[in-house]
Amino acid sequence: MTSNRLLLLTVFPPPEAFFLVRDQVGKDEEPAIVLLAGEGVRNHFSDSSRTYFLETDLAGRGIVPGEGALSDDEGALLLLSASSVMTFT
Would you tell me which residues interact with another protein (CB under 8 A)? 11-18, 20-21, 24-26, 83-89
CB of 25 to another protein, least distance (A): 4
Q: Provide Rg for the chain, Cα atoms.
A: 12
Smaller CB separation from another protein, 14 or 69: 14
Q: How many helices (H) and strands (E) does the chain have?
A: 3, 5
| Distance of closest approach, residue 62 Cβ to another protein, in angstroms | 20
The per-residue b/e assignment along 23-35, b for 16 or more CB within 10 angstroms, e otherwise, is eeeeeeeebbbbb
Q: How far is the CB of 4 from another protein (least distance, A)?
A: 11
